[in-house]
Amino acid sequence: MILSDDLEFAPLAVVAITRALWRYRSELTPLTTALLTFVSGVILHTGYPTWWPTVLILTAVLAWVLVFFGRWVNLTRRVERGYAAAVVLLVGGWIATAAALGPFTSPLPALLGIGGVLTALPWWAHRRRRARVRVERTLAAWPDIAQAVGLTGSRIQSAIVDLWGYRARIALARGQTVEDAIAKIPALESALGTRRGSARIQPIPERANRLELRIIETDPHADAIAWPGPSITSIIQPVKLGVFEDGSPVRVSLLRRHALVGGVAGAGKSGGVNIVLGDLSACPDVVIWGVDLKRGMELLPWASCLDRLATTPQEAETLMRDAVAILDGRADALAQHGKRVWEPRPDAPALIVLIDEYAELVDDAPGAIRHADSIARRGRAVAVTLVAATQRPSQKAMGQGAVRSQMDVRLSFRVRERRDVDLILGQGMLKSGWHSHTLNAPGKFLISAPEHDIPRRARTYLLDDAGVQRTATHHAPRRPALDPVSVAALEATTPTAQATPDGANPPKHARPDGTQDAENAMWTALRDAPADGVSIDDLMRTTGMGRSWIYYRLQEHARSERVIQVSRGRWRATPEP
């Protein structure tokens, strides 16, 4: 403050004091409350001393409302509602007593002072109040901030403080776009004094010149989030992959949708695949096939829930060829019945082919790539879909077909380079604010899907190895088998069946290569089984196949009267007469 001879001190002092009182109005709220309480007691005692019962009744009602309905006024925590109710009871009780006896009656003045101090301490220490004050002061300087970062003319419409930071709705000036603001995120973080990577900008669909600026001061995804268990019981329900930063669940439908999961090694891609498998394994109306050319390192723990698992290039090419055969068989069946869409049921399940590290197929199994391209183009209507995971889905890595362009659901975990964002999520997504290269922890991801068209950071659930084992063991006995239409389609494309070691023919749709070896090994174990039979677990160890595959093959043999069930869970070959 600069004084000169032609300025009077009093007006300047009044202005300075008023500004200070306004700036620190939140900190002075306890003092203001105590002063208003005292004045109210004086007024009631002077003019309306008989109103004290009414004051007590209103106080009790207001305290009850705050305790049970405080969420309506943003008192989300129980301790906040309790504090508000206690203050109301203290203030109302003091005013009623002062109205009846007089505000200067001992010990009312002392009680007002002590009560004011005791209620002021929690108020001053309250984290969210202090955060709200800080945000208000920061956003009060928005005109200067906007000018500094190149958004001159934009203005704050509203702001909300939450547990993790604050959100502000901003109206842009004429000619400014959300993309302009997204490009200035680093400058905004500097001007607001926040840490790097804490600013999020999301468009508001209703208005092209509106956006939501979100500042994350405490990362809600700093710690891993345990998987709560399967969230669906049918493929027609959306899978729950994790949670967004605001705590809402990430749900996406995989029915008749191909999905692409991308991210560098260690970014959480395999964890995301585990969550998908954890939910799908609980669905009795979907059959899961897996391709894992890392010798089954990623998918083998789920083998008991997979109807088929290919771990070599030859098996992968055979599996993908069979998926196309099922696609064609279902399409023919639909055409014959005058239908256009395959509706999944337990007796007519959907088929999902999950491929871990899709890029390996390009070099090692080019035939599988051709079949995958056919599935991507034609598989939706017949409920034969792909879920492909890869580190960098470039055109070379994904082959020259239409697989990548047909992926409706895309999950991008952390990528190393900015250009990789567009490779996973689609052309132009980086410019639109999809910054998966800035994700800073394993399991964090961005999802692009028809129901998720705004960049929102999320974190997938954590399903550890023990959880995978428990989940697979629990759901394996209830996994469905392929429907008759699909089995017939496989039989029609299978070469002449090879006889099993004892001369009996295996099921017509038994597959060659590694699966045929497993069939032969299972038949040998059944033929050599003792009188009490061999267990399902022993057959799984002998063949290296999953529980669903074992049950399916046993049912085929039982229908042909080649095997018998000795007791619950134990089987053997039918004794020769």
Res 508: pLDDT: 36
Q: How far is CA 547 from the centre of its chain?
A: 30
- Give strand pairing partners of 165: 216
* Structure token digits, residue 118: 């005791």
In whole angstroms, give the CA distance from residue 275 to residue 229: 9
Res 165: pLDDT: 80
Res 39: pLDDT: 93
Estimate the crossing angle of helix 185-192 against helix 142-149, to 10 degrees.
Answer: 140
Res 298: pLDDT: 87
Q: Are the beta carbons of 546 and 306 closer than 8 angstroms?
A: yes
Res 497: pLDDT: 40
In whole angstroms, give the CA distance from residue 212 to residue 416: 27
Tell me the whole-structure pTM to 2 decimals: 0.66
For each of the chain's 577 residues, which pLDDT tens digit applies?
A: 455 555 566 676 777 788 777 767 777 888 899 999 999 999 999 999 999 999 999 999 999 998 888 878 777 778 888 989 999 999 999 999 999 999 899 899 999 999 888 888 888 877 667 777 777 777 788 999 999 999 999 998 888 877 778 888 999 999 999 889 988 989 999 998 888 888 888 888 888 889 999 888 777 787 888 999 999 999 999 999 999 987 889 999 999 999 999 998 889 999 999 999 999 999 999 999 999 988 778 898 898 899 999 888 888 999 999 999 999 999 999 999 899 999 999 999 999 999 998 888 877 888 888 898 899 999 999 999 999 998 866 666 665 556 778 889 999 999 988 888 888 888 888 888 888 988 988 999 999 999 998 888 999 999 998 899 899 989 988 899 899 999 988 888 765 444 444 444 444 333 334 456 778 888 889 988 898 899 888 888 888 776 656 776 787 788 778 888 888 778 899 887 6
Helix segments in 442-533, DSSP class H: 465-475, 484-493, 513-527
| Share of the chain residues as helix, strand and coil, in percent rounded to the nearest 5 | 45, 20, 35
Question: Other C-beta atoms within 10 Å of 94: how many?
Answer: 23
For residue 190, the one-letter residue type is S
In whole angstroms, give the CA distance from residue 320 to residue 352: 11
Res 397: pLDDT: 62
Which are the contacts of 88, defined by CB distance < 8 A and separation ≥ 6?
59, 62, 63, 66
Res 503: pLDDT: 42
Which are the contacts of 271, defined by CB distance < 8 A and separation ≥ 6?
442, 443, 460, 461, 462, 463
Res 546: pLDDT: 65
372 SS3 class:
helix
In whole angstroms, give the CA distance from residue 247 to residue 164: 11
Residue with tokens 């994904």: 398
In whole angstroms, give the CA distance from residue 102 to residue 106: 9
Res 505: pLDDT: 42
